[in-house]
Structure 1
Amino acid sequence: MALKDTLQQDMKTAMRGGDKPKLGVIRLILAAIKQREVDERIELDDAQVTVVLDKMSKQRRDSLEQYEKAGREDLAAQERFELEVIQTYLPKQLEDAEIDALINTAVEATGASSMKDMGKVMGQLKDKLQGRADMGAVSGKIKARLSA
């Protein structure tokens, strides 16, 4: 079943079950997907929906960090809940060892030897890691690998 269809079914289930918090998050996800479809006049496939979910997940992590620094536990708890719901629709996150192995493979495949080659390595990894790893952390690992 397509990811959008799964989201639609889960929205109906949450409505029937009276799960208002989860229903609200699913509606946010569907609104973000619909916004992108309208803006670009396309129908999103699963890979593009994953990109939207990944972006939403990153936004929640950033907000969560800011709320925790400001001592706003009430808002941080809401962001944490939204992040958990969003992550249920993302593919399973990769382990650090798996990410390191993919980085090493990409570095070898592109012949990257310095920071100038970072774009080549990121280009190789982006599709493989989208939604399965925090791309900011991956970028840091690549920088460490290329500067070593």
Structure 2
Amino acid sequence: MALIDTLNADLKTAMKARDKETLATVRMLKAAVVNEQVKLGHDLNDQEGLAILATELKQRKESLTEFKKANREDLVTPLLQEIKIVERYLPQPLSEDEVSQLVQQVIEQVGATSTKDFGKVMKVLMPQVKGRADGAVVNKLVKAALTK
């Protein structure tokens, strides 16, 4: 089932259940997906859909840290609920160990030997972990592996 179909089905379910929080979040996600479809001029494939959802999740997590810094507990609780809802649509995130194993495989695959090969490794690795691992974590692990 395509992402937009899943969002539409969940939208109807949330409406019937009168679940305002889920309804609002699913509407935001659907709007982001539809906006991207219009921008690109075609239906999104799974990778593009996951990328949008990952972006939405990242934005909410960044907002969460800002709200916590500002002691805005009134905004933290609803945002945590939104994060849980968005995470339902994303695949299970990779652990740091799993990402580290992928990093080693890609380094061997491309024959990387030094930090000069960082770009080659990232170019092959990022499509494999898109939406399943934080880019900053991947970046850190690749740098660590190449400086050994």
- Per the normalisation by structure 2, the TM-score is 0.94
**Structure 1 residue 68: deviation in Å?**
1.1
RMSD: 1.2
* 1:122 equivalent in structure 2: 122
- Per the normalisation by structure 1, the TM-score is 0.94
Q: Percent identity?
A: 39
Moved more, 99-108 or 133-142: 133-142
**Structure 1 residue 79: deviation in Å?**
2.1
Q: Which residue identity is paired with 1:127? A: P
* 1:74 equivalent in structure 2: 74
- TM superposition outliers: structure 1 runs of 4+ over 6 Å: none
Residue correspondences, number: 148
Where 2:44 maps in the other structure, the secondary structure is: coil
Where 1:91 maps in the other structure, the secondary structure is: coil
**Structure 1 residue 72: deviation in Å?**
1.2
**Structure 1 residue 114: deviation in Å?**
2.3
* 1:25 equivalent in structure 2: 25
1:87 has 2:87 as partner:
yes
* 1:52 equivalent in structure 2: 52
CA distance in 1, matches of 2:85, 2:140: 27
Q: Gaps spanning 5+ residues in structure 2: where?
A: none
CA distance in 1, matches of 2:74, 2:113: 46
Q: Gaps spanning 5+ residues in structure 1: where?
A: none
Where 1:43 maps in the other structure, the secondary structure is: coil
